[in-house]
């Protein structure tokens, strides 16, 4: 079983993964189609700084959001089976690579803007 986050949000959803933003948002959107049974059901994008996309898979609703050079993955039902979350994470790892250390994890890391 993969390492998954268990971060519960005020709206009841759960953040379960973060992956490096190694691809543009439109590639991430198209990657939904490569997950058998998944369907894109919502997309909000300003084409500059941020994207939110919702998709369904195995009767569950997921959200992907880009933050701090990463894509963050959320499940609307925090009681979703871990196996399904692992399938979703593994699917996007084929496009984005494995999880990375975010700036939030290492505040002492130097940043150049």
**Which residues, given as ranges, of the chain have pLDDT below 70?**
1-2, 99-113
pTM: 0.85
Helix (H, G, I), strand (E, B), or coil: what is residue 90?
helix
Asked whether the CA dihedral 90, 77, 81, 35 is positive or negative, the reply is negative
- Measured in degrees and rounded to the nearest 5, phi and psi for residue 88 equal -65, -45
**What pLDDT score does 104 carry?**
46
**What pLDDT score does 98 carry?**
85
Identify the structural domains of the chain with CATH numbers, from first to last: 7-105 (3.30.310)
């Amino acid at each position: 079983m993969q390492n998954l986050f268990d971060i519960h949000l005020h709206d009841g959803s759960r953040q379960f993964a973060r992956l490096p933003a190694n691809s543009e948002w439109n590639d991430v959107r198209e990657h939904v189609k490569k997950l058998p049974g998944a369907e894109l059901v919502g997309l909000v994008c300003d084409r500059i700084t941020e994207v939110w996309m919702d998709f369904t898979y195995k009767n569950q609703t997921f959200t992907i959001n880009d933050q701090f050079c990463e894509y963050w993955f959320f499940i609307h039902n925090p009681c979703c089976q871990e196996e399904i979350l692992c399938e979703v994470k593994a699917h996007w790892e084929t496009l984005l690579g494995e999880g990375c250390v975010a700036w939030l994890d290492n505040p002492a890391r130097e940043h150049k803007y």
